[in-house]
Amino acid sequence: MLKRLFLGVLLASGAALLLSAAVHADPPADPIHAAHGTPSAARLAYRFRPGESYHYTITGFFTGHIPPFSQPNSPPINLRAQLDYVATVQKSDAKGAQVAFVVHAADIDLLEKDPGPSGKVDPNSVVPLSLPLSEVQKVFNVTAMLRPDGSVASVTSDSSSPLHINLGFDPRKLFLLIMPVVFPDRPLTVNDAWTFDDGVLGHNPGKTTYQGRLLAIQPAGRDLSFRIGQNAQALVDTGIDKAGNPTDKPAETVGTLKGKVEVTGQLTFVAPANGRTASDASDLRAGRVSAGQMALNVLLKRTRTAPPDPNNPVDIDNGDIDVKARLSVQADTNSHHATTAASGAHKEPAASPADSGK
């Protein structure tokens, strides 16, 4: 039971974490790129070609009070998680691209203390959580229908695993760390900002907001690198059932969850330097996210409004949920890389990522 509860916490926390990302240094320009020049504006879109696969490694550090593992006056919990994700484009048509997101390996550990910004962990302070890879896959593996601008048409999952804690967002959308920004249908110049209405924090007009900003356009070898900043905020005010999941059914409501979730970060979007089509005057650049980093801040208050259930010892109780996290994502361009399942699971070969923009 503890492992399943912990996985629920990771899923809910990771979903928001996965929203944004800071940039690794871009490689210097080369003569091939110099011949094309750096555009002053570009219209951006995600590239979905059937048969292509992209491999990403996501590493996150979480710290905070997250019931039922800690109480308001107890020490915070510290967690390290690393997931190897492979996204494979199955098909594409006028409605969008069907993409399968699969976790090929996962390592999840409890830490005695937060390692800090350096991310250096004392091996003697690690307490591995022996979560079977299959349990992680049940919740994180999804198939999504995606539009070129990054908006999500639909998400399907085979998971029936309940969440045991709700942080105000949908954990099935964890994959959006790989494509966290919805692009506008117009060319962008440096310092241009835009808003969009859906993402990892969900679609909730008036309570959930997203903003992107183009920070820089730089040469990156044969490609162009677009550095993008992002922030998002969700105001949470929902009823919850005895498992801690959101509900709008009065008969199932035993409490409320209220507060705020905030995410800030940057990402690097890479597209071919010669990616403009001859008939497209707006300079369309289709590519993908190559790297990023983000920060998450969750502050929620859980209040029980119904009498305690003596027959359900894991029923929810009052308490604050405060989580701070740092997460990085990196595209793997090594076609010979093989992922290793956590906790003694067998090795599985990861799909080879397509070369972005070449």
CA distance 81 to 86: 16
Q: Given a cut of 90, is residue 288 above it in pLDDT?
A: yes
Asked if 174 and 159 touch (Cβ cutoff 8 Å), the reply is no
Listed range (91-95, 137-141, 164-168, 281-285) with the worst mean pLDDT? 164-168
pLDDT value for 344: 32
- Per-residue HEC secondary structure of the chain comes to CHHHHHHHHHHHHHHHHCCCCCCCCCCCECHHHHHHCCCCCEEEEECCCCCCEEEEEEEEEEEEECCCCCCCCCCCEEEEEEEEEEEEEEEEECCEEEEEEEEEEEEEEEECCCCCCCCCCCHHHEEECCCCHHHHHHHHCEEEEECCCCCEEEEECCCCCCCCCCCCCCHHHHHHHCCCCCCCCCCECCCCEEEECCCCCCCCCCCEEEEEEEEEEEEEECEEEEEEEEEEEEEEEEEECCCCCEECCCCCCCEEEEEEEEEEEEEEEEEECCCCCCCCCCCEEEEEEEEEEEEEEEEEEEEECCCCCCCCCCCCCCEEEEEEEEEEEEEECCCCCEEECCCCCCEEECCCECCCCC
pLDDT tops 60 at residue 202:
yes
Quick one: pLDDT at residue 184?
96
Number of domains in the chain: 1
Q: Are 172 and 155 in contact (CB under 8 A)?
A: yes
Q: Are 119 and 325 in contact (CB under 8 A)?
A: no
pLDDT at site 231: 95
The answer to whether residue 217 is domain-embedded is yes
So what's the pLDDT on residue 17?
Answer: 40
36: CB partners within 8 A, 6+ apart: 273, 274
Provide the residue range defining the domain that includes 226. 2-349
CA distance 99 to 150: 12
pLDDT of residue 123: 85
* Beta-bridge partners for 126: 111
Q: How far apart are CA 217 and CA 190, in angstroms?
A: 7
Q: When comparing pLDDT for 4 and 96, which is higher?
A: 96
Q: Tell me which of 182 and 319 has the higher pLDDT.
A: 182
Q: Quick one: pLDDT at residue 138?
A: 86
Q: Is 353 exposed, middle or buried (CB count within 10 Å of its CB: 0-12, 13-18, 19+)?
A: buried
User: Per the domain annotation, does 354 fall within a domain?
Assistant: no
In a domain, 333, yes or no: yes
- As a whole number, mean pLDDT of residues 146-171 equals 72
Residue 118 lies in a domain: yes
Residue 341, both tokens: 């399942």
Is 39 domain-assigned? yes
Mean pLDDT of the chain: 77
Q: What is the pLDDT of residue 351?
A: 32
Separation of alpha carbons 59 and 352, rounded Å: 20
Does any domain span residue 339?
A: yes
Q: Do residues 82 and 106 touch, judged by C-beta distance below 8 A? A: yes
pLDDT of residue 169: 57
The band of 261, judged by pLDDT with boundaries at 50, 70 and 90, is: very high
Q: What's the rounded mean pLDDT across residues 101-124? A: 86
Half-sphere exposure of 55 (CA within 13 A, CB side): 18
To which residue do tokens 């009070």 refer? 65
Highest mean pLDDT among 124-133, 297-306, 318-327: 297-306
Range in 31-45, 60-74, 91-105, 343-357 with the lowest mean pLDDT: 343-357
**Full-model pTM:** 0.78
Residue 358 lies in a domain: no
Paired tokens of 7: 């996985």
| Cα-to-chain-centroid distance, residue 88 | 17
Assess if residue 356 is contained within a domain.
no
The answer to whether the beta carbons of residues 247 and 265 sit under 8 Å apart is no
Task: Give the pLDDT of residue 168.
Answer: 53
